[in-house]
């Protein structure tokens, strides 16, 4: 199954953009996913290619027009699950990324300006998804984050699928620290920094235990919210 993503945007040239590199780029080349960026401006109805208008009720900024977005939406088939990138949405997490990565088709609407006329969101029952509690200038970067988080979970995208199963957020914990050669690194200030002994011991049970302890300590320190849930789940 190919993971097909339609993007409704005023900046179609942004796609695949950064997604053309690394794991997502390889997966695109290997046909694991596809991207179809639709230019909302192509559906504008006047010579000025207007896609926005002033908000009813007054106030600053412009709002993207329902009729134009609707025409852009109607041009796409099949649409699958419909997502509006929005700082008002539920926050993207690993569980949601896993869920979305099992869809065959996604249609992602990227807002600009003050956002989109609410009627088009209601009519098509767009699901609002945020990538975090801050405001971006547009939905495109958020869409890329969402797509990246899904694509790396597709079968065959990451060399060893075990890797994604052990990553941060998969089991309620952040991931343990990693080390690679040299076993002793001479830092620029002259200090000699060694790898924890247990990692070169070859004792797999002790290594697993060490990694779990480190993951727990990191989670407790950096994400008390996650730690609370992890402890409650026993």
- Does the footprint of ligand SAM cover residue 16 (CB under 6 A)? no
Q: How many residues does the chain have?
A: 234
| Residues in 121-180 that interact with ligand SAM by CB under 6 A | 130-132, 134-139, 142
Quick note: the x/- pattern for ligand SAM over 110-129, rule CB under 6 A, is xxx-xx--------------
User: Shortest distance, CB of residue 10 to ligand SAM, whole angstroms?
Assistant: 10
User: Shortest distance, CB of residue 100 to ligand SAM, whole angstroms?
Assistant: 14
| Residues in 34-73 that interact with ligand SAM by CB under 6 A | none
| Closer residue to ligand SAM in complex, CB, 7/158 | 7
| Closer residue to ligand SAM in complex, CB, 87/177 | 87
Which residue in 28, 100, 48, 39 sits closest to 75, CA to CA? Answer: 39
- Does the footprint of ligand SAM cover residue 107 (CB under 6 A)? no
Q: At what angle do helices 204-222 and 224-232 cross, to 10 degrees?
A: 120
Q: At what angle do helices 94-101 and 140-151 cross, to 10 degrees?
A: 80
| Residues in 79-98 that interact with ligand SAM by CB under 6 A | 85-88
- Tokens 């200030």 correspond to 189
| Closer residue to ligand SAM in complex, CB, 143/158 | 143
Buried b (16+ CB within 10 A) or exposed e, 54-91: eeeeeeeeebbbbebbbebbeebeebbebbbbbbebee
Whole-number Å distance between alpha carbons of 206 and 195: 15
Q: Which residues bind ligand SAM (CB under 6 A)?
A: 85-88, 110-112, 114-115, 130-132, 134-139, 142
């Amino acid at each position: 199954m190919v993971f097909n993503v339609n993007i409704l945007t005023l900046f179609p040239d942004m796609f695949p953009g950064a997604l053309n590199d690394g794991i997502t780029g390889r997966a695109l080349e290997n046909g694991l996913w596809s991207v179809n960026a639709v230019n909302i401006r192509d559906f504008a109805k006047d010579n000025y290619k207007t896609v926005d208008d002033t908000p009813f009720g007054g106030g600053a900024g412009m709002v993207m027009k329902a009729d134009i977005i609707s025409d852009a939406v109607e041009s796409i088939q099949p649409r699958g699950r419909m997502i509006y990138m929005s700082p008002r949405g539920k926050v993207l997490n690993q569980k949601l990324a896993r869920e979305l990565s099992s869809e065959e088709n996604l249609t992602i609407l990227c807002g600009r300006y003050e956002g989109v006329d609410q009627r088009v969101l209601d009519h098509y029952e767009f699901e609002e998804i945020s990538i975090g509690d801050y405001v971006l200038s547009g939905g495109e970067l958020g869409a890329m984050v969402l797509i990246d988080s899904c694509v790396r979970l597709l079968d065959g995208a990451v060399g060893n699928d075990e890797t994604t199963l052990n990553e941060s957020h998969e089991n309620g914990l952040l991931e343990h620290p990693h080390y690679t050669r040299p076993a002793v690194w001479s830092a620029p200030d002259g200090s000699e920094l060694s790898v924890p002994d247990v990692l070169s011991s070859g004792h797999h049970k002790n290594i697993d235990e060490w990694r779990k302890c480190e993951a727990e300590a990191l989670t407790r320190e950096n994400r008390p919210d996650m730690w609370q849930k992890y402890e409650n789940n026993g």
